[in-house]
Amino acid sequence: MNSSWDTLKILSDPTRLRLLALVLKEELSVAELQEILGMAQSRISSQLALLRQAGFVSDRRDGKKAFYSLRADLSPRLLTLLKAACESVAELPESSEDRDNLDRALQKRRRVSEQYFNLIAGKLGKNYCPGRSWEAIGHLALRLVPDITVADLGAGEGLLSQLLAQRAARVWCIDNSERMVEVGTELARKNGLANLTYKLGDIEKVPLPEKSVDLAILSQALHHASHPQAAVDEAFRILKPGGQLLVLDLKDHNFEKAHEIYGDLWLGFSENTLHGFLKKAGFQKVEVTAVSREENEPYFETLLAVGVKAAR
């Protein structure tokens, strides 16, 4: 950005300002922006390119998809100016329609994931699921301590928690699929696990009090989160001082069909990305290790990330 005049010129274009108002609220793909604004991809892409060159937005690639978000290091002065510009047109019909379309786009994201898990409820332990290997789960299980309170976040049917509940004092299973919660609750009842409780909820807004659990687990759940950092932050919030977070998730890959077949929102994460999630949330003694690699294509690899909440 060369000068304040250049900044004002960027903000004076209605399409660019509408794009900035959207990415100010949420990271969005080009396809989602196209759907929200009802514009051709070429027009949106060209405007996004100008915004990127001007230093307003950053982009990341997830397979063949390109996602855009507001730059994290945008200066306070520019951020204040941008918010003021967006607020000045917030009451216009176009802005109101954009907000409604954004809500629908985000609901569509959630439905894709929820529909997949509702469909496979009751079958999750029988069908193939990338990264869900006994080898990987074994590495996680080795780090478990008995007689503690555990939160299994994005638990699905809670197959892991069914095992943990046989030794832990209390296990909470959190999942956003009503059908998964129903199936898991019935399994807990059938197996006589009174200390195993299923709750309907989002891993980005966990329905548990802060400082209430000793161990939080995100097992192959983070790549289904719209905002992985928010999920890790929530795990930090509900952990007691000295508590531990364990994350099992896929290493970054290029198997595009995972979006469609498994309802994945992210094509895995790099070791550095997982490490960054935990450090930003406030965890100490963070370690990220590759623990398994599948022998068949697309050769999914699984990472184990560990972090400890400081004792106070």
- 0.75 cut: is pTM over it? no
- What does the domain layout of the chain look like in residue ranges? 4-112, 134-308
Alpha carbon distance 160, 294 (integer Å): 20
pLDDT at 122: 65
Amino acid identity of residue 242, one-letter, is: G
pLDDT at 119: 66
E strands, the chain, are 28-29, 57-62, 65-70, 149-153, 170-175, 196-200, 213-219, 239-250, 284-293, 301-308
CATH superfamily, with its number, for domain 134-308:
Vaccinia Virus protein VP39 (3.40.50.150)
pLDDT at 158: 80
Identify whether the C-beta of residue 89 lies closer than 8 Å to the C-beta of residue 17: yes
pLDDT at 309: 97
Between vectors from CA 113 to CA 107 and to CA 114, what angle results, nearest 5°? Answer: 80
Tell me the pLDDT of the chain (312 aa) as tens digits: 456 778 888 889 999 999 999 999 999 999 999 999 999 999 999 999 999 998 899 999 888 889 999 998 988 888 998 999 999 999 999 999 999 999 988 888 877 767 666 766 666 555 556 665 655 665 566 455 568 999 999 998 888 888 888 888 999 999 999 999 999 999 999 989 999 999 999 999 999 999 999 999 999 999 999 999 999 999 999 999 999 999 999 999 999 999 989 889 999 999 999 999 999 999 999 999 998 888 899 999 999 999 999 987
> Which residues pair with residue 60 across a beta bridge?
67
CATH fold, domain 4-112, is: Arc Repressor Mutant, subunit A (1.10.10)
